[in-house]
Structure 1
Amino acid sequence: MKVLVTGASGNVGRYVTENLLKMGERVVTAGTNTQKLIDLFQDKVDPVYFDFTKKKTFKNALENVDRVFLIRPPHLGKPEDLYPFIDAMKDYNIKLVSFLSLMGIEKNTIPPHHKIEKYIESSQIPFAHVRPGFFMQNVSGVHSTEIREMNKIFIPAGNSKTSFIDAEDIGLSVATLLRNPEIYKNTAHTITGAEALDYFQVAEILSRVTGRKIEYAKPGFLKYRRHYIKKRGLEKAFVNVTVALYFMTRMGTAKDVTDDFIKLTGKKPRTFEEFAIANIDSFQ
Protein backbone atom coordinates (compact mmCIF):
# COMPACT_ATOMS: atom_id res chain seq x y z
CA MET A 1 0.00 0.00 0.00
CA LYS A 2 0.97 3.63 -0.51
CA VAL A 3 1.31 6.77 1.60
CA LEU A 4 -0.65 9.87 0.58
CA VAL A 5 1.12 13.20 1.12
CA THR A 6 -1.07 16.29 0.91
CA GLY A 7 0.70 19.62 0.36
CA ALA A 8 3.63 17.69 -1.11
CA SER A 9 5.16 20.73 -2.80
CA GLY A 10 5.24 22.76 0.41
CA ASN A 11 7.97 23.31 3.00
CA VAL A 12 7.14 20.22 5.08
CA GLY A 13 5.34 18.02 2.54
CA ARG A 14 8.35 18.02 0.27
CA TYR A 15 10.59 16.66 3.02
CA VAL A 16 7.96 14.14 4.14
CA THR A 17 7.88 12.82 0.58
CA GLU A 18 11.66 12.70 0.17
CA ASN A 19 12.14 10.86 3.45
CA LEU A 20 9.39 8.34 2.73
CA LEU A 21 11.02 7.59 -0.62
CA LYS A 22 14.38 7.05 1.11
CA MET A 23 12.63 4.59 3.42
CA GLY A 24 11.38 2.63 0.40
CA GLU A 25 7.74 3.69 0.64
CA ARG A 26 5.49 4.17 -2.38
CA VAL A 27 4.13 7.71 -2.28
CA VAL A 28 1.10 9.44 -3.76
CA THR A 29 1.63 13.21 -3.88
CA ALA A 30 -1.54 15.30 -3.89
CA GLY A 31 -2.06 18.90 -4.91
CA THR A 32 -3.80 21.32 -7.23
CA ASN A 33 -0.69 21.69 -9.43
CA THR A 34 0.32 18.22 -10.59
CA GLN A 35 2.97 19.59 -12.97
CA LYS A 36 4.77 21.13 -10.01
CA LEU A 37 4.73 17.73 -8.30
CA ILE A 38 6.14 16.08 -11.41
CA ASP A 39 8.88 18.70 -11.65
CA LEU A 40 9.80 18.16 -7.98
CA PHE A 41 9.78 14.38 -7.80
CA GLN A 42 9.98 13.22 -11.44
CA ASP A 43 8.73 9.63 -11.77
CA LYS A 44 9.47 8.66 -8.16
CA VAL A 45 5.88 9.34 -7.01
CA ASP A 46 2.29 9.04 -8.21
CA PRO A 47 1.02 12.62 -8.59
CA VAL A 48 -2.75 13.18 -8.32
CA TYR A 49 -4.92 16.26 -8.65
CA PHE A 50 -6.48 16.94 -5.26
CA ASP A 51 -8.49 19.77 -3.74
CA PHE A 52 -9.96 19.77 -0.22
CA THR A 53 -12.92 21.77 -1.53
CA LYS A 54 -13.77 19.25 -4.29
CA LYS A 55 -15.08 15.91 -3.01
CA LYS A 56 -14.79 14.34 -6.46
CA THR A 57 -10.98 14.49 -6.14
CA PHE A 58 -10.89 12.44 -2.92
CA LYS A 59 -11.32 8.98 -4.47
CA ASN A 60 -8.28 9.12 -6.75
CA ALA A 61 -6.13 10.42 -3.91
CA LEU A 62 -7.16 7.72 -1.43
CA GLU A 63 -7.23 4.61 -3.62
CA ASN A 64 -4.59 2.04 -2.61
CA VAL A 65 -3.49 4.28 0.27
CA ASP A 66 -3.32 3.19 3.91
CA ARG A 67 -1.49 6.14 5.53
CA VAL A 68 -1.93 9.89 5.11
CA PHE A 69 0.05 13.03 5.85
CA LEU A 70 -2.55 15.75 6.33
CA ILE A 71 -1.77 19.45 6.19
CA ARG A 72 -4.19 22.38 6.25
CA PRO A 73 -3.65 24.69 3.26
CA PRO A 74 -3.10 28.29 4.46
CA HIS A 75 -6.04 29.62 2.44
CA LEU A 76 -8.52 27.32 4.20
CA GLY A 77 -9.07 29.10 7.49
CA LYS A 78 -12.03 27.12 8.80
CA PRO A 79 -11.47 23.70 10.40
CA GLU A 80 -14.71 22.54 8.77
CA ASP A 81 -12.99 22.83 5.38
CA LEU A 82 -11.06 19.64 6.16
CA TYR A 83 -13.91 17.65 7.70
CA PRO A 84 -15.26 16.16 4.41
CA PHE A 85 -11.86 14.69 3.58
CA ILE A 86 -11.43 13.31 7.09
CA ASP A 87 -14.87 11.71 6.73
CA ALA A 88 -13.82 10.22 3.38
CA MET A 89 -10.75 8.58 4.95
CA LYS A 90 -13.04 6.42 7.10
CA ASP A 91 -13.98 4.37 4.01
CA TYR A 92 -10.38 3.45 3.13
CA ASN A 93 -9.13 1.57 6.20
CA ILE A 94 -6.44 4.14 6.93
CA LYS A 95 -3.87 2.79 9.39
CA LEU A 96 -2.54 6.21 10.39
CA VAL A 97 -3.12 9.87 9.61
CA SER A 98 -0.38 12.26 10.66
CA PHE A 99 -1.72 15.81 10.90
CA LEU A 100 0.63 18.80 10.89
CA SER A 101 -0.64 20.81 13.84
CA LEU A 102 0.91 23.49 16.08
CA MET A 103 3.05 23.49 19.20
CA GLY A 104 0.89 24.02 22.29
CA ILE A 105 -2.36 23.52 20.38
CA GLU A 106 -3.67 21.17 23.05
CA LYS A 107 -3.99 24.24 25.31
CA ASN A 108 -5.00 26.75 22.62
CA THR A 109 -8.49 26.42 21.17
CA ILE A 110 -8.30 29.47 18.89
CA PRO A 111 -6.36 28.23 15.81
CA PRO A 112 -8.25 25.82 13.50
CA HIS A 113 -5.71 23.06 14.20
CA HIS A 114 -7.27 22.41 17.62
CA LYS A 115 -10.67 21.48 16.19
CA ILE A 116 -9.10 19.51 13.34
CA GLU A 117 -7.15 17.40 15.84
CA LYS A 118 -10.32 16.75 17.84
CA TYR A 119 -12.30 15.87 14.71
CA ILE A 120 -9.68 13.34 13.61
CA GLU A 121 -9.72 11.77 17.06
CA SER A 122 -13.52 11.55 17.10
CA SER A 123 -13.47 9.89 13.66
CA GLN A 124 -11.75 6.84 15.16
CA ILE A 125 -9.01 6.95 12.49
CA PRO A 126 -5.64 6.10 14.11
CA PHE A 127 -3.65 9.33 14.37
CA ALA A 128 -0.19 10.72 15.12
CA HIS A 129 -0.39 14.49 15.50
CA VAL A 130 2.79 16.44 14.85
CA ARG A 131 3.00 19.72 16.77
CA PRO A 132 6.11 21.57 15.57
CA GLY A 133 7.67 24.71 16.90
CA PHE A 134 8.28 27.80 14.78
CA PHE A 135 9.75 26.97 11.35
CA MET A 136 13.26 28.20 10.64
CA GLN A 137 12.02 28.62 7.08
CA ASN A 138 9.80 31.51 8.19
CA VAL A 139 12.93 33.51 8.94
CA SER A 140 14.58 32.58 5.63
CA GLY A 141 11.26 33.01 3.81
CA VAL A 142 8.67 35.69 4.49
CA HIS A 143 10.87 37.57 6.98
CA SER A 144 14.08 37.47 4.92
CA THR A 145 13.22 40.59 2.88
CA GLU A 146 13.91 42.97 5.76
CA ILE A 147 17.09 41.06 6.64
CA ARG A 148 18.41 41.41 3.08
CA GLU A 149 17.26 44.97 2.40
CA MET A 150 17.38 46.62 5.86
CA ASN A 151 19.74 44.38 7.86
CA LYS A 152 16.89 44.03 10.34
CA ILE A 153 14.73 41.26 11.73
CA PHE A 154 11.27 42.82 11.64
CA ILE A 155 9.22 40.49 13.84
CA PRO A 156 6.96 41.57 16.76
CA ALA A 157 8.02 38.83 19.18
CA GLY A 158 9.30 41.15 21.93
CA ASN A 159 11.84 39.51 24.23
CA SER A 160 10.27 36.06 23.93
CA LYS A 161 12.17 32.91 23.05
CA THR A 162 11.43 30.40 20.30
CA SER A 163 12.58 26.79 19.96
CA PHE A 164 13.04 26.93 16.18
CA ILE A 165 12.77 23.72 14.15
CA ASP A 166 13.88 23.05 10.57
CA ALA A 167 11.07 21.90 8.25
CA GLU A 168 13.42 19.17 7.03
CA ASP A 169 13.54 17.75 10.56
CA ILE A 170 9.74 17.92 10.77
CA GLY A 171 9.53 16.01 7.49
CA LEU A 172 11.77 13.25 8.83
CA SER A 173 9.66 13.05 12.00
CA VAL A 174 6.43 12.67 10.02
CA ALA A 175 7.94 10.05 7.69
CA THR A 176 9.12 8.06 10.72
CA LEU A 177 5.60 8.08 12.16
CA LEU A 178 4.01 7.03 8.88
CA ARG A 179 6.58 4.29 8.39
CA ASN A 180 5.56 2.75 11.74
CA PRO A 181 1.77 3.11 12.03
CA GLU A 182 1.26 0.41 14.65
CA ILE A 183 3.91 1.81 16.98
CA TYR A 184 2.72 5.41 16.85
CA LYS A 185 -1.06 5.17 16.48
CA ASN A 186 -3.05 7.56 18.67
CA THR A 187 -0.06 9.66 19.73
CA ALA A 188 1.00 13.31 19.60
CA HIS A 189 4.53 14.67 19.22
CA THR A 190 5.83 18.19 19.92
CA ILE A 191 8.84 18.66 17.64
CA THR A 192 11.29 21.44 18.52
CA GLY A 193 14.91 22.33 18.12
CA ALA A 194 17.41 21.71 20.92
CA GLU A 195 17.51 25.33 22.15
CA ALA A 196 15.23 28.32 22.58
CA LEU A 197 16.49 31.61 21.16
CA ASP A 198 15.24 35.17 21.36
CA TYR A 199 15.49 37.31 18.24
CA PHE A 200 18.45 39.25 19.58
CA GLN A 201 20.31 35.92 19.57
CA VAL A 202 19.00 35.16 16.08
CA ALA A 203 20.34 38.54 14.93
CA GLU A 204 23.76 37.71 16.43
CA ILE A 205 23.83 34.39 14.59
CA LEU A 206 22.84 35.96 11.27
CA SER A 207 25.43 38.72 11.76
CA ARG A 208 28.11 36.09 12.32
CA VAL A 209 27.04 33.99 9.33
CA THR A 210 26.56 36.83 6.83
CA GLY A 211 29.41 39.07 7.98
CA ARG A 212 26.97 41.99 8.25
CA LYS A 213 25.49 43.72 11.29
CA ILE A 214 21.95 42.37 11.55
CA GLU A 215 19.75 43.95 14.22
CA TYR A 216 16.50 42.90 15.81
CA ALA A 217 14.12 45.82 15.20
CA LYS A 218 11.62 44.57 17.82
CA PRO A 219 8.60 46.35 16.26
CA GLY A 220 5.25 46.66 17.97
CA PHE A 221 2.24 44.86 16.51
CA LEU A 222 0.76 47.94 14.79
CA LYS A 223 4.08 48.96 13.21
CA TYR A 224 4.68 45.39 12.04
CA ARG A 225 1.16 45.04 10.64
CA ARG A 226 1.33 48.37 8.80
CA HIS A 227 4.74 47.52 7.29
CA TYR A 228 3.71 44.09 6.03
CA ILE A 229 0.38 45.23 4.61
CA LYS A 230 1.27 48.67 3.18
CA LYS A 231 4.96 48.32 2.30
CA ARG A 232 5.21 44.60 1.60
CA GLY A 233 1.71 44.34 0.11
CA LEU A 234 0.82 41.09 1.86
CA GLU A 235 -2.78 40.01 2.41
CA LYS A 236 -4.39 41.37 5.57
CA ALA A 237 -5.71 37.95 6.56
CA PHE A 238 -2.24 36.42 6.37
CA VAL A 239 -0.63 39.27 8.32
CA ASN A 240 -3.35 39.12 10.98
CA VAL A 241 -2.65 35.40 11.48
CA THR A 242 1.04 36.13 11.99
CA VAL A 243 0.19 38.87 14.47
CA ALA A 244 -1.86 36.34 16.45
CA LEU A 245 0.98 33.83 16.37
CA TYR A 246 3.51 36.39 17.59
CA PHE A 247 1.12 37.49 20.30
CA MET A 248 1.04 33.88 21.52
CA THR A 249 4.84 33.75 21.23
CA ARG A 250 5.08 36.74 23.57
CA MET A 251 2.95 34.78 26.01
CA GLY A 252 5.69 32.14 26.14
CA THR A 253 4.04 29.44 24.03
CA ALA A 254 7.02 28.95 21.68
CA LYS A 255 9.88 28.58 24.15
CA ASP A 256 9.54 24.98 25.31
CA VAL A 257 12.21 22.52 24.19
CA THR A 258 11.40 18.81 23.81
CA ASP A 259 13.39 15.72 22.90
CA ASP A 260 10.59 14.22 20.77
CA PHE A 261 12.63 14.59 17.57
CA ILE A 262 15.57 12.71 19.08
CA LYS A 263 13.27 9.97 20.40
CA LEU A 264 11.64 9.51 17.00
CA THR A 265 14.68 9.68 14.74
CA GLY A 266 17.72 9.03 16.92
CA LYS A 267 19.24 12.24 15.53
CA LYS A 268 19.88 15.72 16.87
CA PRO A 269 17.77 18.53 15.35
CA ARG A 270 19.56 21.07 13.19
CA THR A 271 20.61 24.22 15.01
CA PHE A 272 19.59 27.66 13.76
CA GLU A 273 23.22 28.48 12.98
CA GLU A 274 23.59 25.33 10.86
CA PHE A 275 20.37 26.28 9.07
CA ALA A 276 21.55 29.85 8.46
CA ILE A 277 24.84 28.64 6.98
CA ALA A 278 23.06 26.19 4.68
CA ASN A 279 20.57 28.87 3.58
CA ILE A 280 22.85 31.89 3.51
CA ASP A 281 21.64 32.86 0.02
CA SER A 282 18.25 33.71 1.54
CA PHE A 283 19.87 36.39 3.69
CA GLN A 284 22.31 37.92 1.17
Structure 2
Amino acid sequence: MERILVTGATGTVGSVVLRNLRQAGAEAVAASVQPGPDSAGTVRFNFTDPATWATAFAGVTAMFLMRPPAIGNVRRDLLPAVDAARRAGVRHVVFLSLQGADRIRVVPHGTVERWLIGSGVDYTFVRPSFFCQNLSGVHAPDIRDRDSIVVPAGDGATAFVDADDVAAVAATALLHPAEHAGRTWTVTGPQALTYTEVADILSAELGRTVRYTRPGLLRYSRHAHRRLAMPWPQVAVTAAIYTTARLGLAAGLTTDIRTVLGRDPVDFAAFARRERHHWTSRSPS
Protein backbone atom coordinates (compact mmCIF):
# COMPACT_ATOMS: atom_id res chain seq x y z
CA MET A 1 0.00 0.00 0.00
CA GLU A 2 1.18 3.53 -0.81
CA ARG A 3 2.23 5.56 2.24
CA ILE A 4 1.19 9.19 1.75
CA LEU A 5 2.51 12.12 3.77
CA VAL A 6 0.13 15.08 4.13
CA THR A 7 1.72 18.42 4.96
CA GLY A 8 -0.52 21.17 6.26
CA ALA A 9 -2.64 18.38 7.72
CA THR A 10 -4.41 20.61 10.24
CA GLY A 11 -5.18 23.31 7.69
CA THR A 12 -8.24 24.13 5.64
CA VAL A 13 -7.27 21.95 2.67
CA GLY A 14 -4.83 19.49 4.21
CA SER A 15 -7.24 18.32 6.90
CA VAL A 16 -9.83 17.43 4.27
CA VAL A 17 -7.20 15.76 2.06
CA LEU A 18 -6.18 13.64 5.05
CA ARG A 19 -9.77 12.71 5.86
CA ASN A 20 -10.58 11.82 2.25
CA LEU A 21 -7.48 9.64 1.93
CA ARG A 22 -8.21 7.76 5.13
CA GLN A 23 -11.86 7.28 4.21
CA ALA A 24 -10.63 5.72 0.95
CA GLY A 25 -8.47 3.28 2.93
CA ALA A 26 -5.09 4.85 2.14
CA GLU A 27 -2.22 4.87 4.62
CA ALA A 28 -2.12 8.63 5.11
CA VAL A 29 0.23 10.19 7.65
CA ALA A 30 -0.27 13.70 8.98
CA ALA A 31 2.83 15.90 9.17
CA SER A 32 2.82 18.21 12.18
CA VAL A 33 5.33 20.69 13.57
CA GLN A 34 4.32 19.71 17.09
CA PRO A 35 2.21 16.52 17.37
CA GLY A 36 -0.13 16.51 20.33
CA PRO A 37 -0.56 13.77 22.92
CA ASP A 38 -3.28 12.13 20.81
CA SER A 39 -1.17 11.91 17.66
CA ALA A 40 -1.77 8.47 16.18
CA GLY A 41 -1.06 8.59 12.46
CA THR A 42 0.96 11.77 12.88
CA VAL A 43 4.69 12.36 12.44
CA ARG A 44 6.76 15.35 13.54
CA PHE A 45 7.86 17.41 10.56
CA ASN A 46 9.10 20.92 10.00
CA PHE A 47 10.19 22.25 6.60
CA THR A 48 13.00 24.22 8.23
CA ASP A 49 14.24 21.51 10.62
CA PRO A 50 16.28 18.85 8.78
CA ALA A 51 16.33 16.71 11.93
CA THR A 52 12.65 15.91 11.33
CA TRP A 53 12.94 14.90 7.69
CA ALA A 54 14.28 11.33 7.76
CA THR A 55 11.58 9.99 10.07
CA ALA A 56 8.81 11.87 8.30
CA PHE A 57 9.81 10.58 4.85
CA ALA A 58 10.53 6.98 5.87
CA GLY A 59 8.52 4.65 3.63
CA VAL A 60 6.63 7.54 2.01
CA THR A 61 6.00 7.21 -1.73
CA ALA A 62 3.67 10.18 -2.28
CA MET A 63 3.20 13.56 -0.64
CA PHE A 64 0.63 16.31 -0.50
CA LEU A 65 2.73 19.47 -0.47
CA MET A 66 1.37 22.72 0.89
CA ARG A 67 3.51 25.82 1.37
CA PRO A 68 3.02 27.18 4.91
CA PRO A 69 1.78 30.78 4.61
CA ALA A 70 4.67 32.06 6.73
CA ILE A 71 7.27 30.72 4.28
CA GLY A 72 8.05 33.31 1.65
CA ASN A 73 11.55 32.20 0.63
CA VAL A 74 10.74 28.74 -0.72
CA ARG A 75 14.22 28.15 -2.15
CA ARG A 76 15.72 28.43 1.31
CA ASP A 77 12.91 27.23 3.59
CA LEU A 78 10.84 24.68 1.64
CA LEU A 79 12.59 23.16 -1.37
CA PRO A 80 15.48 21.57 0.58
CA ALA A 81 12.92 19.47 2.47
CA VAL A 82 11.17 18.50 -0.76
CA ASP A 83 14.51 17.51 -2.24
CA ALA A 84 15.16 15.35 0.83
CA ALA A 85 11.77 13.71 0.25
CA ARG A 86 12.75 12.94 -3.35
CA ARG A 87 16.03 11.40 -2.24
CA ALA A 88 14.18 9.38 0.43
CA GLY A 89 11.96 7.73 -2.19
CA VAL A 90 8.94 10.01 -2.68
CA ARG A 91 7.86 9.44 -6.28
CA HIS A 92 4.75 11.62 -6.60
CA VAL A 93 4.13 15.11 -5.21
CA VAL A 94 0.70 16.73 -5.38
CA PHE A 95 1.38 20.43 -4.88
CA LEU A 96 -1.25 22.89 -3.73
CA SER A 97 -0.34 25.76 -6.00
CA LEU A 98 -2.27 28.83 -7.13
CA GLN A 99 -4.34 29.79 -10.14
CA GLY A 100 -2.01 31.51 -12.59
CA ALA A 101 1.16 30.47 -10.74
CA ASP A 102 2.89 29.92 -14.07
CA ARG A 103 2.25 33.56 -15.05
CA ILE A 104 2.54 35.47 -11.75
CA ARG A 105 6.25 35.69 -11.06
CA VAL A 106 5.91 37.43 -7.68
CA VAL A 107 4.24 34.51 -5.89
CA PRO A 108 6.42 31.65 -4.56
CA HIS A 109 4.20 28.90 -5.96
CA GLY A 110 5.71 29.25 -9.43
CA THR A 111 9.19 28.68 -8.04
CA VAL A 112 8.04 25.42 -6.45
CA GLU A 113 6.34 24.31 -9.66
CA ARG A 114 9.45 24.94 -11.75
CA TRP A 115 11.60 23.01 -9.28
CA LEU A 116 9.23 20.04 -9.30
CA ILE A 117 9.15 19.95 -13.10
CA GLY A 118 12.92 19.59 -13.16
CA SER A 119 13.20 17.30 -10.13
CA GLY A 120 12.52 13.95 -11.76
CA VAL A 121 9.57 13.14 -9.50
CA ASP A 122 6.04 12.78 -10.80
CA TYR A 123 4.00 15.85 -9.94
CA THR A 124 0.44 17.06 -10.05
CA PHE A 125 -0.30 20.76 -9.68
CA VAL A 126 -3.62 21.68 -8.10
CA ARG A 127 -4.05 25.38 -8.84
CA PRO A 128 -7.08 26.67 -6.97
CA SER A 129 -8.64 30.04 -7.36
CA PHE A 130 -9.27 32.04 -4.19
CA PHE A 131 -10.72 29.97 -1.36
CA CYS A 132 -14.20 30.79 -0.13
CA GLN A 133 -12.83 29.79 3.27
CA ASN A 134 -10.52 32.81 3.40
CA LEU A 135 -13.65 34.86 4.03
CA SER A 136 -14.83 32.51 6.79
CA GLY A 137 -11.29 32.24 8.18
CA VAL A 138 -8.69 34.98 8.16
CA HIS A 139 -11.18 37.68 7.06
CA ALA A 140 -14.03 36.50 9.29
CA PRO A 141 -13.34 39.05 12.07
CA ASP A 142 -13.80 41.93 9.61
CA ILE A 143 -17.13 40.54 8.40
CA ARG A 144 -18.38 39.34 11.78
CA ASP A 145 -17.33 42.30 13.94
CA ARG A 146 -17.10 45.19 11.48
CA ASP A 147 -19.48 44.22 8.64
CA SER A 148 -16.70 44.86 6.15
CA ILE A 149 -14.53 43.10 3.59
CA VAL A 150 -11.06 44.67 3.53
CA VAL A 151 -9.09 43.40 0.51
CA PRO A 152 -7.31 45.36 -2.24
CA ALA A 153 -9.02 43.69 -5.20
CA GLY A 154 -10.59 46.77 -6.79
CA ASP A 155 -13.46 45.89 -9.12
CA GLY A 156 -11.85 42.65 -10.28
CA ALA A 157 -13.82 39.41 -10.18
CA THR A 158 -12.58 36.22 -8.53
CA ALA A 159 -13.51 32.61 -9.32
CA PHE A 160 -14.07 31.61 -5.69
CA VAL A 161 -13.72 27.90 -4.92
CA ASP A 162 -14.70 25.80 -1.91
CA ALA A 163 -11.55 24.40 -0.31
CA ASP A 164 -13.35 21.10 0.22
CA ASP A 165 -13.59 20.75 -3.56
CA VAL A 166 -9.88 21.55 -3.87
CA ALA A 167 -9.05 18.89 -1.28
CA ALA A 168 -11.18 16.34 -3.10
CA VAL A 169 -9.25 16.93 -6.33
CA ALA A 170 -5.91 16.64 -4.52
CA ALA A 171 -6.92 13.43 -2.75
CA THR A 172 -8.10 11.92 -6.04
CA ALA A 173 -4.71 12.69 -7.62
CA LEU A 174 -2.91 11.04 -4.70
CA LEU A 175 -5.13 7.96 -4.84
CA HIS A 176 -4.78 7.55 -8.62
CA PRO A 177 -1.26 8.80 -9.43
CA ALA A 178 -0.97 7.16 -12.84
CA GLU A 179 -3.98 9.15 -14.07
CA HIS A 180 -2.78 12.48 -12.69
CA ALA A 181 1.03 12.51 -12.96
CA GLY A 182 2.18 15.47 -15.01
CA ARG A 183 -1.27 17.05 -14.94
CA THR A 184 -2.25 20.53 -13.85
CA TRP A 185 -5.75 21.06 -12.51
CA THR A 186 -6.95 24.64 -12.18
CA VAL A 187 -9.88 24.29 -9.80
CA THR A 188 -12.45 27.08 -9.63
CA GLY A 189 -15.99 27.59 -8.54
CA PRO A 190 -18.82 27.90 -11.07
CA GLN A 191 -18.86 31.72 -11.25
CA ALA A 192 -16.56 34.72 -10.89
CA LEU A 193 -17.71 37.36 -8.42
CA THR A 194 -16.51 40.83 -7.52
CA TYR A 195 -16.14 41.57 -3.83
CA THR A 196 -19.11 43.90 -4.12
CA GLU A 197 -21.17 40.91 -5.26
CA VAL A 198 -19.72 38.80 -2.44
CA ALA A 199 -20.72 41.51 0.05
CA ASP A 200 -24.25 41.48 -1.38
CA ILE A 201 -24.51 37.68 -1.03
CA LEU A 202 -23.27 37.86 2.58
CA SER A 203 -25.65 40.73 3.34
CA ALA A 204 -28.60 38.70 2.06
CA GLU A 205 -27.53 35.58 3.96
CA LEU A 206 -26.79 37.37 7.25
CA GLY A 207 -29.66 39.84 7.18
CA ARG A 208 -27.41 42.87 7.67
CA THR A 209 -25.33 45.09 5.41
CA VAL A 210 -21.78 43.94 4.70
CA ARG A 211 -19.65 46.51 2.83
CA TYR A 212 -16.66 46.05 0.58
CA THR A 213 -14.27 48.86 1.54
CA ARG A 214 -11.92 48.75 -1.48
CA PRO A 215 -8.65 49.56 0.33
CA GLY A 216 -5.38 50.28 -1.45
CA LEU A 217 -2.36 48.04 -0.98
CA LEU A 218 -0.82 50.11 1.83
CA ARG A 219 -4.01 50.33 3.86
CA TYR A 220 -4.68 46.63 3.34
CA SER A 221 -1.15 45.67 4.36
CA ARG A 222 -1.32 47.65 7.59
CA HIS A 223 -4.79 46.31 8.37
CA ALA A 224 -3.86 42.68 7.66
CA HIS A 225 -0.77 42.86 9.85
CA ARG A 226 -2.25 44.83 12.74
CA ARG A 227 -5.89 43.74 12.86
CA LEU A 228 -5.73 40.25 11.33
CA ALA A 229 -2.34 39.33 12.81
CA MET A 230 -0.85 38.20 9.51
CA PRO A 231 2.95 37.91 9.48
CA TRP A 232 4.55 40.21 6.92
CA PRO A 233 5.50 37.41 4.48
CA GLN A 234 1.84 36.32 4.40
CA VAL A 235 0.73 39.92 3.93
CA ALA A 236 3.02 40.19 0.90
CA VAL A 237 1.74 36.99 -0.71
CA THR A 238 -1.93 37.82 -0.12
CA ALA A 239 -1.42 41.36 -1.43
CA ALA A 240 0.02 39.86 -4.62
CA ILE A 241 -2.95 37.49 -4.93
CA TYR A 242 -5.47 40.32 -4.50
CA THR A 243 -3.54 42.36 -7.04
CA THR A 244 -4.16 39.63 -9.62
CA ALA A 245 -7.89 40.07 -8.97
CA ARG A 246 -7.62 43.85 -9.29
CA LEU A 247 -5.86 43.36 -12.63
CA GLY A 248 -8.58 41.03 -13.89
CA LEU A 249 -6.44 37.88 -13.77
CA ALA A 250 -8.44 35.90 -11.17
CA ALA A 251 -11.75 35.53 -12.95
CA GLY A 252 -10.96 32.58 -15.21
CA LEU A 253 -13.32 29.62 -14.85
CA THR A 254 -12.62 25.98 -15.63
CA THR A 255 -14.52 22.70 -15.60
CA ASP A 256 -11.65 20.81 -13.94
CA ILE A 257 -13.65 19.93 -10.81
CA ARG A 258 -16.30 18.28 -12.94
CA THR A 259 -13.61 16.52 -15.00
CA VAL A 260 -11.87 15.07 -11.92
CA LEU A 261 -14.79 14.55 -9.54
CA GLY A 262 -17.72 14.07 -11.92
CA ARG A 263 -19.83 16.75 -10.24
CA ASP A 264 -20.24 20.50 -10.22
CA PRO A 265 -18.31 22.69 -7.76
CA VAL A 266 -19.99 24.34 -4.78
CA ASP A 267 -21.01 27.95 -5.48
CA PHE A 268 -20.39 30.86 -3.11
CA ALA A 269 -24.02 31.31 -2.08
CA ALA A 270 -24.24 27.64 -1.02
CA PHE A 271 -20.95 28.02 0.83
CA ALA A 272 -22.26 31.12 2.65
CA ARG A 273 -25.39 29.24 3.76
CA ARG A 274 -23.29 26.33 5.04
CA GLU A 275 -20.73 28.48 6.85
CA ARG A 276 -22.83 31.43 8.04
CA HIS A 277 -22.02 30.66 11.70
CA HIS A 278 -18.52 32.07 11.15
CA TRP A 279 -19.99 35.54 10.67
CA THR A 280 -22.84 35.55 13.19
CA SER A 281 -21.18 35.19 16.63
CA ARG A 282 -19.79 38.64 17.29
CA SER A 283 -16.80 39.23 19.54
CA PRO A 284 -17.21 41.50 22.57
CA SER A 285 -16.50 45.16 21.77
Question: Shorter-normalised TM-score: what interval?
Answer: over 0.9
2:108 counterpart letter in structure 1: P
Structure 1 residues 250 and 36 mapped into 2: Cα distance closer, same or farther (>3 Å)? Answer: farther
The partner residue of 1:48 within 20, 43, 66 is 43
The partner residue of 1:57 within 35, 52, 60 is 52
Deviations 1:191-232 (A, max 9, x none): 111110011111111011111121222222233233334455
Instruction: Give the paired residue count.
Output: 278
Identify the range of structure 1 (24-33 vs 52-61) with the bigger mean alpha-carbon deviation.
52-61
The partner residue of 2:74 within 79, 89, 93 is 79
TM-score normalized by the length of structure 2: 0.92
Is 1:257–2:253 an aligned residue pair?
yes
More helix by share: 1
Question: Does the CA contact (< 8 Å) of 1:228 and 1:239 recur in 2?
Answer: yes
Is 1:94–2:90 an aligned residue pair?
yes
Partner of 1:186: 182
Partner of 1:198: 194
Question: Does the CA contact (< 8 Å) of 1:58 and 1:85 recur in 2?
Answer: yes
- The offset of 1:238, in angstroms, is 2.8
Question: Does the CA contact (< 8 Å) of 2:125 and 2:185 recur in 1?
Answer: yes
- The offset of 1:62, in angstroms, is 1.5
Partner of 1:30: 31
Partner of 2:154: 158
What does 1:220-235 align with in structure 2 at a 5 Å threshold?
A: 220-235=216-231
The unaligned stretches of length 5 or more in structure 2 are 281-285
Structure 1 residues 236 and 36 mapped into 2: Cα distance closer, same or farther (>3 Å)? Answer: farther
Question: Does the CA contact (< 8 Å) of 1:196 and 1:255 recur in 2?
Answer: yes
What is the distance in 1 between the residues matched to 2:153 and 2:138?
A: 15
- The offset of 1:181, in angstroms, is 0.7
Identity of aligned residues (%): 37
RMSD: 1.7
Question: Does the CA contact (< 8 Å) of 1:29 and 1:48 recur in 2?
Answer: yes
Deviations 1:36-65 (A, max 9, x none): 873xxxx5xx21000111222112111222
* SS at structure 2 position matched to 1:34: coil
Is 1:11–2:18 an aligned residue pair?
no
Deviations 1:133-177 (A, max 9, x none): 001111111212121122222222111000011111111010000
The unaligned stretches of length 5 or more in structure 1 are none
Partner of 2:283: none
TM-score normalized by the length of structure 1: 0.92
What is the distance in 2 between the residues matched to 1:212 and 1:279?
A: 16
Is 1:139–2:135 an aligned residue pair?
yes
1:271 counterpart letter in structure 2: D
Deviations 1:213-263 (A, max 9, x none): 212222222332333344555433332332222112111121000111111
